[in-house]
Amino acid sequence: MPDSEPRQRVDLEDLALHEGATVLLRRALAALAPGDWLEVHGDSPELAGHLAAWCRKEGHSCETKQGVPGMYRVQAGSGTPIIVTSETQIAEAADPAWGLAPRGARIESGGPEFAFTLRQKRDVWARELDAIYTQAVANQWSASRDVPWSQLPKLSSEVEGAVAQIMTFLTENEFAALYVPARFIPRIHPHYREVVEVLAMQVVDEARHAEAFTRRAEAGGAQLGTTAVSGQLSLKTLLEEPDFTTAAFLLCVMGEGTFLTLLKFLCERSPDPVTAALMTLAHRDEARHVAFGTEHLRYVFEREPNLRATLAAAVERRSRMLASISGLSPYVHDALVIFAGGGLSTGQVRAGAQHVAALHREMDRARRERLQALGFEPEVASRMSSYHTKNFM
Ligand SMILES: [Fe+2]
Ligand SMILES: [Fe+2]
């Protein structure tokens, strides 16, 4: 039986409800159990009527204290049930009814359900999320401020054309790398906010890469190059991958992993300091994207070791879908040869072609190493690497 003696007293003096008295009332009532009484003093005009109406709306009951003007008794109602989630404990499954509430908040029950389809921890989680996010925030750069544009020399038209073609190719890949995480973000339950934060930074990184690479293509006076159907088809399969873990594997581990080798190559063979600086900055960002993908896959493989076989099959399936593509687009291949060789003389082309062949071997080696680090058997890793799209991403 609740005690009819008031548990709390609040003196509103002449403060009216519309002047903020509800703040004091709510605080006092929050400390009470349902059924407990609060004694309210106050002499603002019309307090009796306003207090009664407010109590009705908030689910409390109110009465005047007989014979004492300016004194009221409010009995605390049961209020809206509250769901409490833990800040530190990350749930294995997140409830759609938690909605957009930050983890650790108290949540009024009865809220709308959101269609977050990625709401199991296993679906999205990775270790090192805090470290990856902190690094991403600390290492943001600006294409305007942090690139030595004024040091861009006048290159031969062949080399400048090759740079523009490579930048065109990089930019279309950047768009793919932007759209893939962007389409998954709204599906991830906010309970796993660290994943959302890391992917949001990834989207920002890719937007900056696309901006910077396009700007480099235009800076030397050459026009943007040609986009091949083969490249677009390959990227389309990435954009259409419906499963988050498979998409993270194909994009972040296989694709961006291969791009790490490409960006390093472009930096080392760069004909000018602007391109070299851009490649270095983008490489640092891509290393984080690869780290996220790798850590997510590691987390999943610890729980589902057999998923390795499924992903090996996914790489093979993608390769079959792209079977009509004989290899890297000739626009990109030729541009890489001219870029690496430094020009179009036979000697330069021979040297360039050797460098590009070495690039392919290094991409394959690094992919196999990355796959083996994720627990794939060496033969499986070799087969998967050889099936990887010839368009790098
Ligand atoms: Fe990128
Ligand atoms: Fe990336």
In this structure, which ligand is nearest to the CA of 238? Answer: 2
Measure the CA–CA gap between 249 and 290, rounded to whole angstroms: 9
Measure the CA–CA gap between 311 and 300, rounded to whole angstroms: 12
**Whether the predicted pLDDT of 317 surpasses 60:** yes
pLDDT of residue 325: 67
Return the H-helix or E-strand segment holding 205. Answer: helix 193-219
268 C-beta neighbours (distance < 10 Å), count:
11
Lookup result for tokens 């709401």: 119
Tell me if residue 72 falls in helix, strand or coil.
strand
In degrees rounded to 5, what are phi and psi of residue 127?
A: -80, 170
Determine contact, residues 255/393, Cβ cutoff 8 Å: yes
Which pLDDT tens digit goes with each residue over 375-387? 999 999 999 999 9
Which pLDDT tens digit goes with each residue over 71-105? 999 999 987 778 877 777 899 999 998 999 999 99
Measure the CA–CA gap between 18 and 46, rounded to whole angstroms: 11
Compute the distance from residue 203 Cα to the ligand 2 centre, in Å: 8
pLDDT of residue 389: 83
What would the mean pLDDT of 202-225 be, rounded to a whole number?
97
14 C-beta neighbours (distance < 10 Å), count:
12
Measure the CA–CA gap between 62 and 53, rounded to whole angstroms: 9
Bridge-based pairing state of the strands 71-75 and 37-41: antiparallel
Rg (CA), the chain: 31
In this structure, which ligand is nearest to the CA of 213? Answer: 1
Residue 1 pLDDT grade (very low, low, confident, very high; cuts 50, 70, 90): very low
**Whether the predicted pLDDT of 339 surpasses 70:** yes
In this structure, which ligand is nearest to the CA of 263? Answer: 1
Compute the distance from residue 174 Cα to the ligand 2 centre, in Å: 7
Residue 36 pLDDT grade (very low, low, confident, very high; cuts 50, 70, 90): very high
Compute the distance from residue 327 Cα to the ligand 2 centre, in Å: 22
Measure the CA–CA gap between 59 and 229, rounded to whole angstroms: 64
In degrees rounded to 5, what are phi and psi of residue 239?
A: -65, -25
Which pLDDT tens digit goes with each residue over 246-276? 999 999 999 999 999 999 999 999 999 999 9
In this structure, which ligand is nearest to the CA of 208? Answer: 1
Lowest mean per-residue pLDDT among 7-21, 111-125, 316-330: 316-330
Return the H-helix or E-strand segment holding 181. Answer: helix 157-184
Q: How far is CA 217 from CA 141, 300, 352, in A?
A: 19, 39, 20
Q: Which two three-digit tokens encode residue 135? A: 């690094």
**Mean pLDDT for the chain overall:** 94
Residue 343 pLDDT grade (very low, low, confident, very high; cuts 50, 70, 90): very high
Compute the distance from residue 91 Cα to the ligand 2 centre, in Å: 28
What would the mean pLDDT of 165-184 be, rounded to a whole number?
98
Determine contact, residues 388/327, Cβ cutoff 8 Å: no
- Report the percentage of the chain scoring pLDDT > 90: 82
Q: Which two three-digit tokens encode residue 349? A: 């082309």
Listed in sequence order, the residues at least 6 apart from 134 whose beta carbon sits closer than 8 Å to its beta carbon are none
> Which residues are close to ligand 2, an ion, with C-beta < 5 A?
177, 256, 286, 289
What 343-349 contacts at long range (C-beta under 8 Å, 24+ apart), as own/partner pairs, is: 343/156, 343/158, 343/159, 344/158
Compute the distance from residue 206 Cα to the ligand 1 centre, in Å: 4
CA proximity to 331, closest of 343, 320, 339? 339
Measure the CA–CA gap between 156 and 65, rounded to whole angstroms: 94
